């Protein structure tokens, strides 16, 4: 067990009404090396969950155990920084966080902040840029002269530069075409194979469901399903989440199985034909 939420509440302050629960009495464990999809309707508490994981916000009540380090609403900044060191967070539209004069400088930023010297930071940044697939001749370019796709990759490199144990992604595929999605999935698979725990909040069930080991579905700040995606999508779904289109198609032609990808669906159909 790597991370454990113990009866965590998070209250959002409201100007006019009672403070509302964004997360309500949340208890769950996240194991090392898992690839988790977090889904649910807008406003169900998914992004709050990610922000709590990265200690950007603290629980209103309850506590979170990060590999033995307990975080609650009175944890000091120094401890939070220590925990945060293990996380890489790729926000929705991550290109908006870029600011440095060059690509290399921007990727080095997190490495320098987390205690590396300039030479180490530069080495780490160059390694991750190669892994992400940013060509060397772009490293000294201004981040603002890159295409949106390249900017996204640089921002992702910036989150991965410290080789984090946990990678958090908020709507990672939003606004991406199929090629860019494939590129991103390759990157995620690579880091997952290296042992990183990946937690992705997404509405893009079609893309992520075939890859993940576990799916957690939120509704109004509570977990309503937590299982492997095949088990979750084999049951009739409610309005909180649509199953992958391959599952809907399989059902429409009378298949009882739950194919999460086109390949699985093709295998099922082939098996019937045989």
Partner 1 sequence: MNNIFGRFLPTDSLLGKLDPRTKIVIDFFFVIILLFANSWLTYGILIFFVAFAIYCSKIPIKVFWLGLRSILSLVILMMLIQLLLTAPSDQSDILISFGWLRISSTGLINSIIIALRFFLMIFMTTVLTVTTPSTSIADGISSLLKPLSKIGLDTKTFALLISMTLRFVPILSDEFSTIVDAQRSRGLSLKTGSIVKRTKTLIPMIIPLISVAFKKALTLADTMEIRGFIDAKSRTSFHQLKFQKIDLIVLIIFTVISFSIVYFSYAKL
Interface contacts to partner 1, rule CB under 8 A: 12-13, 15-16, 51, 54, 56, 77-78, 81, 84-85, 87-89, 91, 94, 96-100, 109-110, 112-114, 144, 158-159
Tell me the closest approach of the beta carbon of residue 158 to partner 1, in angstroms: 6
Q: How far is the CB of 81 from partner 1 (least distance, A)?
A: 6
In the complex, what is the shortest distance from the CB of residue 182 to partner 1, in angstroms, rounded to a whole number?
25
* Shortest CB 257 distance to partner 1, Å: 39
Half-sphere exposure of 230 (CA within 13 A, CB side): 10
Q: How far apart are CA 159 and CA 172, in angstroms?
A: 13
Buried b (16+ CB within 10 A) or exposed e, 32-63: eebbbbbbbeeebbbbbbbbbbbbeebbbebb
How many whole angstroms separate alpha carbon 184 and alpha carbon 146? 17
Distance of alpha carbon 137 from alpha carbon 189, whole angstroms: 26
| Paired tokens of 50 | 């990610």
Minimum Å gap between C-beta 139 and partner 1 is 18
CB of 231 to partner 1, least distance (A): 32
Which one, 184 or 250, has the nearer CB to partner 1?
Answer: 184
Cβ closest to partner 1, residue 109 vs residue 249: 109
Query: Nearest-5° angle of CA 160, CA 191, CA 8?
Result: 75
Taking the least distance from each CB to partner 1, the nearer of 20 and 238 is: 20
Specify the residue, 115 or 133, whose C-beta has the smaller distance to partner 1: 115
The 8-class DSSP code of residue 244 comes to: P
Q: How far is the CB of 43 from partner 1 (least distance, A)?
A: 13
**Cβ contacts of 224 within 8 Å, gap of 6 or more:** 40, 217, 218, 240
Of 171 and 268, nearer to partner 1 (C-beta) is: 171
Question: Based on CB atoms, which residue is closest to partner 1, 39 or 83?
Answer: 83
* CA distance linking residue 165 with residue 160, whole number of Å: 10
Residue 153 token pair: 């990759």
Residue 147 contacts residue 155 (beta carbons within 8 Å) = no
Instruction: Provide the minimum distance between the beta carbon of 88 and partner 1 in the complex, in angstroms, as a whole number.
Output: 8
Is there a contact between 175 and 190 (Cβ–Cβ < 8 Å)?
Answer: no
In SS3 terms, 86-103 reads as: CEEEECCCHHHHCCCCCH
Q: Considering beta carbons, is residue 97 or 257 the nearer one to partner 1?
A: 97
């Amino acid at each position: 067990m790597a991370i454990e939420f113990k009866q965590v509440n998070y209250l959002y302050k409201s100007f006019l009404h009672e403070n509302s629960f964004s997360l309500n009495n949340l208890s769950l464990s996240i194991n090392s090396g898992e690839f988790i999809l977090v889904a649910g309707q807008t406003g169900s508490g998914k992004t709050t969950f990610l922000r709590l994981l990265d200690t950007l916000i603290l629980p209103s009540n309850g506590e979170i155990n990060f590999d033995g380090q307990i975080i609650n609403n009175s944890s000091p900044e120094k401890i939070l920084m220590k925990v945060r060191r293990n996380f890489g967070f790729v926000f929705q539209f991550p290109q908006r966080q870029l600011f440095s004069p060059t690509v290399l400088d921007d990727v080095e930023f997190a490495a320098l902040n987390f205690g590396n010297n300039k030479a180490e930071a530069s080495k780490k940044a160059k390694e991750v840029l190669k892994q992400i697939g940013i060509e060397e001749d772009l490293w000294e370019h201004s981040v603002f002269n890159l295409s949106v796709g390249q900017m996204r990759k640089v921002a992702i490199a910036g989150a991965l530069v410290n080789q984090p144990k946990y990678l958090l992604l908020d709507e990672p595929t939003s606004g991406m075409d199929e090629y860019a999605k494939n590129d991103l999935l390759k990157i995620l698979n690579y880091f997952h194979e290296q042992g990183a725990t990946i937690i992705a909040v997404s509405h893009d069930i079609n893309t992520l469901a075939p890859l993940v080991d576990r799916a957690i579905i939120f509704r109004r700040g509570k977990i309503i399903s937590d299982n492997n995606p095949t088990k979750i999508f084999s049951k009739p779904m409610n309005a909180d989440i649509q199953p992958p289109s391959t599952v809907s198609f399989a059902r429409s032609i009378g298949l009882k199985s739950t194919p999460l990808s086109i390949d699985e669906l093709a295998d099922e159909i082939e098996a019937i034909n045989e």
